[in-house]
Amino acid sequence: MSCADCHDPHGGTAANNLRASNLNDLCFQCHAEYQGPFTFQHAPVVESCTKCHTSHGSMQRSLLAVSQPTLCLQCHAGHHNGSGIPLLNGCTSCHSSIHGTDIPSATGGSVFMDK
Ligand code: HEC
Ligand code: HEC
Ligand code: HEC
Ligand code: HEC
Ligand code: HEC
């Protein structure tokens, strides 16, 4: 993409001359599937996509700021399931709807596992 897909060199309403009124709205212009409101929101996603992603590129897949599971362990304690299956594939191998969902988990609320 070109810089001007996201930045307006002559100004822009948001900080960093972004072409949107706020950072998440910029991302939603091209990634609308993550725009809620969802019944079950994941707080950092609502706050800012850059809680987890770097806009300009990354050494990690999916433009993640840090790789899994470290990404999630910044804010959550890790855990194992009852049968001790190791978490080698990262937290989103189970918590796959991490950007939010309308579908509740078995225990009520949501642990973002419906996809
Ligand atoms: C996909 C959208 C996107 C594209 C494309 C993009 N940027 Fe950015 N840029 C951002 C966002 C969002 C921020 C706000 C800082 C952040 O990431 O939290 C930003 C911040 C900046 C900043 C100020 C903060 C910093 O990181 O220094 C500069 C300078 C900048 N961009 C330059 C560029 C240049 C030059 C290009 C093209 C090579 C470019 N950007 C392409 C989204 C983009
Ligand atoms: C002008 C359109 C546009 C904007 C604005 C935009 N993106 Fe993207 N983004 C794309 C395209 C095109 C791709 C590559 C094709 C794809 O994977 O869908 C992509 C890919 C991605 C990927 C996946 C990369 C991978 O390796 O799989 C992430 C994560 C992402 N964007 C996050 C963001 C975030 C966060 C913002 C806001 C700061 C943003 N995008 C703004 C167009 C955009
Ligand atoms: C809590 C951390 C977190 C936040 C905040 C977050 N994401 Fe993600 N995102 C992820 C993770 C983790 C992946 C990789 C998922 C995987 O590999 O299963 C991902 C993958 C993606 C992808 C590429 C995969 C796909 O489904 O195409 C896009 C695009 C994306 N995110 C966009 C966004 C946008 C837009 C926002 C802000 C509205 C956002 N993300 C906020 C954690 C986050
Ligand atoms: C920047 C901090 C932050 C990051 C990074 C983050 N989360 Fe969260 N997450 C939260 C907050 C805040 C909540 C809502 C409060 C709570 O229930 O703990 C939440 C809620 C959750 C919940 C629901 C918890 C419950 O008890 O209902 C799950 C599951 C979850 N996050 C998984 C993840 C996974 C997996 C990742 C990595 C892809 C991740 N989170 C990354 C801050 C974060
Ligand atoms: C093998 C699948 C699986 C993997 C991998 C996994 N989880 Fe979970 N996680 C679950 C299940 C199932 C629940 C619901 C447990 C319940 O409701 O009693 C859960 C619940 C949670 C919760 C909410 C309840 C709590 O314990 O506070 C958080 C937060 C969470 N996981 C974070 C993570 C993080 C961070 C990782 C990566 C280090 C991760 N999970 C990896 C299956 C998984």
d(CA 105, CA 24): 26
**Do 27 and 40 sit in the same domain of this protein?**
no
| Residue 106 Cα to ligand 2 middle (Å) | 32
Structural domain harbouring 45:
36-115
Tell me the per-residue pLDDT of 53-91, one tens digit each, with 9 for 90 and over.
Answer: 999 999 999 999 999 989 999 999 877 665 565 566 689
d(CA 105, CA 9): 45
Lookup: tokens for 41 = 């929101």
**Do 58 and 111 sit in the same domain of this protein?**
yes
| Residue 55 Cα to ligand 1 middle (Å) | 6
Domain count for the chain? 2
Percentage of the chain exceeding pLDDT 90: 70
**Do 79 and 105 sit in the same domain of this protein?**
yes
Q: Whose CA is nearest to atom 3 of ligand 1?
A: 6
Tell me the per-residue pLDDT of 34-43, one tens digit each, with 9 for 90 and over.
Answer: 999 999 999 9
**Do 42 and 27 sit in the same domain of this protein?**
no
Lookup: tokens for 92 = 């989103």
Lookup: tokens for 80 = 């194992």
Tell which residue, 59, 55, 62, has the closest CA to residue 14. Answer: 55
**Do 28 and 58 sit in the same domain of this protein?**
no
**Can you give the pLDDT at residue 105?**
86
d(CA 113, CA 111): 6
